[in-house]
């Protein structure tokens, strides 16, 4: 069969990618879709229709990736998070089945396999009941997935007893605070949501993880001896890594509200590695006490800063803060994070430590100050500080509530002046090598594409 390029060609080897409808889940799967398309596969990217209320998918026309949406509409009255999860699974299982029935029966090139976001484990049975092979895609690190699988299998409990040492095969020694953290108010339902990912994955022929071999070698090797693990990360637009994918400067996701374009222009006026970039992602809601400590630090430190703060969080800022710091700082509601992280003016990244943000900073060579909030972020912060040594984890006050302004300043000055920057440059090079031609992730994607092509002959 002729292998097509990203600019066209004959494609009959069809793969369906089914993404969970949240920004942090769609971004890595869209990037994986581009990599698959660049290997000559026909790709359909599928998600649910509700995502269009807040996001727009905008991919370069040079990539033969077809976009499709299925309904996640439900009529049930939703009063709890658990009910929301159950209603979503029921509604989307039905619409996914209907979509697959049409694609398998009426399509000119029916899909050979469906890659689905691992937080929707029921998708595997929907596909297999129709004779379609399915493979999960894990958007978290291998370490976090390994830990949560231990919880699923019953060999580990979360939360662990305070001050307890935690020993897990292939992982460094962990303390209780290094494990994924689930706030008590949502612990039961969220822990169930995160651990049920492992209910059906072990009999899959492929298991894709958004990491790369050299980043988590012991964990990947341990898991790979037991299951068909394939690392395919970091799933960051090619322009920031190997540069081999044409016009690949963004994930292809846009907010329905226009982005604030001031950030990059403002950075252009700043000295190299002088700016503290602050962002806690699209979901974290900082406590007012934490916002106060941050603003006190920014007011008193004299360091230039760029702070991305959602519109709904702006009311937590002290009165006149923006006006009083306008000479050295900029607060925006949204920006292109990769553009910011790749800018020469950025000296460090104060982050919640979500996995996408971690990979973006690592791929940009920017050291991090991790202020983890929940779920995977606590484990990511452990690896950022103690394993990869590309940042520090901020110590919380005695009540374990917030990071004080003094602790924030000490942490930020450490990563600006210490070895973390040098280590970040090293990891940036390794990330690029992983996705470049012949790298570990590139080989895994290439081998998978070749296998799918053989199935189509």
DSSP assignments along 247-274, one per residue: T--S-SEEESSPP-THHHHHHTTS-TT-
Whole-number percent of the chain with pLDDT over 90: 74
95-107 pLDDT, tens digit per residue, is 999 999 998 887 7
Whole-number percent of the chain with pLDDT over 70: 96
pLDDT band at 8 (very low <50, low <70, confident <90, very high): very low
Residues 6+ apart with CB under 8 A from 418: none
Closest CA relative to residue 247, chosen from 10, 445, 432, 63: 63
Q: Name the CA dihedral angle for 130, 131, 137, 138, rounded to a multiple of 10 degrees.
A: 80
pLDDT in the model for residue 1 = 26
353-386 pLDDT, tens digit per residue, is 999 999 999 999 999 999 998 899 999 999 999 9
Question: Where is mean pLDDT largest: 69-73, 299-303, 396-400?
Answer: 69-73
Phi-psi region of 247 (alpha: psi -120 to 50; beta: other; left: phi over 0): left
One of 25, 146, 343, 352 is an active-site residue; which one? 25
**The model's pTM:** 0.94
One of 14, 72, 117, 442 is an active-site residue; which one? 117
Phi first, then psi: give them for residue 330, nearest 5 degrees: -140, 130
294-350 pLDDT, tens digit per residue, is 999 999 988 999 999 988 888 999 889 999 898 899 999 988 999 999 999 999 999
pLDDT in the model for residue 6 = 39
**CA distance linking residue 175 with residue 153, whole number of Å:** 20
Question: Where is mean pLDDT largest: 10-24, 50-64, 223-237?
Answer: 223-237
- Buried residues in 90-126 as b, exposed as e (16+ CB within 10 A): ebbeebbbebbeebeeeeeebbbbbbbbbbbbbbbeb
Q: Which domains does the chain have, with CATH numbers?
A: 14-251+435-455 (3.40.50.2000), 260-431 (3.40.50.2000)
209-252 pLDDT, tens digit per residue, is 999 999 999 999 999 999 999 999 999 999 999 999 988 999 99
pLDDT exceeds 70 at position 400: no
**CA distance linking residue 272 with residue 347, whole number of Å:** 7
74-131 pLDDT, tens digit per residue, is 888 888 999 999 999 999 999 999 999 998 887 778 999 999 999 999 999 999 999 9
262-297 pLDDT, tens digit per residue, is 899 999 999 999 999 999 987 778 888 889 999 999
pLDDT in the model for residue 89 = 95
Query: Which ranges of 326-404 would DSSP assign to H, the alpha helix?
Result: 337-341, 355-364, 377-382
Find the radius of gyration of the CA atoms of the chain. Answer: 22
**CA distance linking residue 309 with residue 141, whole number of Å:** 26
pLDDT band at 5 (very low <50, low <70, confident <90, very high): very low
Write down the mean pLDDT value for the chain: 91
pLDDT exceeds 90 at position 254: no
**CA distance linking residue 214 with residue 427, whole number of Å:** 9
Neighbours of 264 (CB within 10 A): 15
Closest CA relative to residue 390, chosen from 417, 412, 368, 361: 368
147-203 pLDDT, tens digit per residue, is 999 999 999 999 888 778 899 999 999 999 999 999 888 899 999 999 999 998 878
- Answer yes or no: 117 catalytic: yes
pLDDT band at 29 (very low <50, low <70, confident <90, very high): very high
**What end-to-end distance do the CA atoms of the chain give, in Å?**
7
3-state helix, strand, coil in the chain (%, to 5): 45, 15, 40
Query: Which ranges of 22-65 would DSSP assign to H, the alpha helix?
Result: 23-38
DSSP assignments along 186-216, one per residue: GHHHHHHHHHGGGGSGGG-S-EEESS-TTTS
- Buried residues in 1-14 as b, exposed as e (16+ CB within 10 A): eeebebeeeebbbb
pLDDT exceeds 60 at position 3: no
pLDDT in the model for residue 257 = 67
Location of structure tokens 């009910």:
83
**CA distance linking residue 163 with residue 133, whole number of Å:** 44
Query: Which ranges of 129-216 would DSSP assign to H, the alpha helix?
Result: 142-153, 187-195
Structural contact between residues 273 and 345, judged by C-beta atoms closer than 8 angstroms: yes
- Answer yes or no: 25 catalytic: yes
177: Cα separation from own chain's centroid: 21
């Amino acid at each position: 069969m002729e292998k097509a390029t990203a600019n066209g060609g004959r494609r009959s080897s069809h793969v369906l990618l089914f993404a969970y409808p949240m920004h942090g889940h769609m971004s890595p799967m869209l990037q994986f879709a581009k990599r698959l398309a660049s290997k000559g596969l026909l790709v359909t990217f599928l998600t649910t229709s509700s995502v269009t209320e807040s996001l727009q998918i905008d991919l370069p026309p040079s990539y033969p990736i077809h976009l499709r949406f299925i309904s996640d509409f439900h009529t049930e009255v939703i009063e709890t998070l658990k009910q929301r999860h159950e209603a979503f699974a029921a509604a989307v299982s039905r619409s996914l089945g209907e979509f697959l029935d049409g694609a398998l029966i009426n399509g000119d090139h029916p899909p050979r396999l469906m890659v689905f976001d691992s937080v929707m484990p029921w998708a595997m049975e929907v596909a297999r009941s129709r004779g379609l092979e399915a493979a999960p895609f894990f958007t978290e690190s291998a370490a976090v997935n390994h830990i949560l699988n231990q919880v699923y299998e019953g060999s580990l409990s979360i939360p662990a007893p305070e001050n307890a040492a935690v020993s897990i095969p292939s992982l460094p020694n962990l303390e209780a605070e290094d494990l994924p953290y689930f706030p008590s108010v949502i612990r039961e339902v969220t822990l169930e949501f995160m651990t049920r990912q492992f209910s059906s994955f072990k009999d899959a022929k492929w298991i894709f993880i958004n990491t790369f071999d050299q980043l988590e070698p012991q964990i990947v090797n341990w898991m790979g001896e037991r299951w068909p693990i394939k690392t395919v990360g970091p799933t960051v637009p090619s322009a920031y890594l190997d540069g081999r994918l044409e016009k690949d400067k963004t994930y292809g996701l846009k907010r329905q509200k226009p982005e604030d374009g001031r950030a990059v222009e403002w950075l252009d006026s700043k000295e190299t590695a002088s700016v503290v970039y602050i962002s806690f992602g699209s979901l974290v809601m900082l406590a007012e006490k934490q916002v106060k400590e941050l603003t006190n630090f920014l007011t008193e430190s004299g360091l230039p800063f760029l702070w991305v703060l959602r519109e709904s969080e702006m009311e937590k800022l002290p009165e006149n803060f923006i006006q009083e710091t306008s000479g050295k700082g900029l607060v925006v509601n949204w920006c292109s994070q990769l553009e910011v992280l790749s800018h020469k003016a950025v000296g460090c990244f104060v982050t919640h430590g979500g996995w996408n943000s971690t990979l973006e900073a690592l791929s940009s060579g920017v050291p991090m100050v991790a202020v983890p909030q929940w779920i995977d972020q606590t484990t990511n912060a452990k690896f950022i500080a103690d394993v990869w040594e590309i940042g520090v984890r901020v110590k919380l006050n005695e009540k374990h509530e917030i990071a004080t302004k003094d602790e924030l300043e000490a942490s930020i000055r450490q990563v600006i002046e210490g070895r973390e920057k040098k280590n970040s440059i090293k990891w940036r090079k390794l990330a690029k090598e992983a996705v470049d031609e012949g790298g570990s992730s590139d080989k895994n994607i290439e081998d998978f594409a070749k296998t799918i092509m053989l199935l189509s002959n």
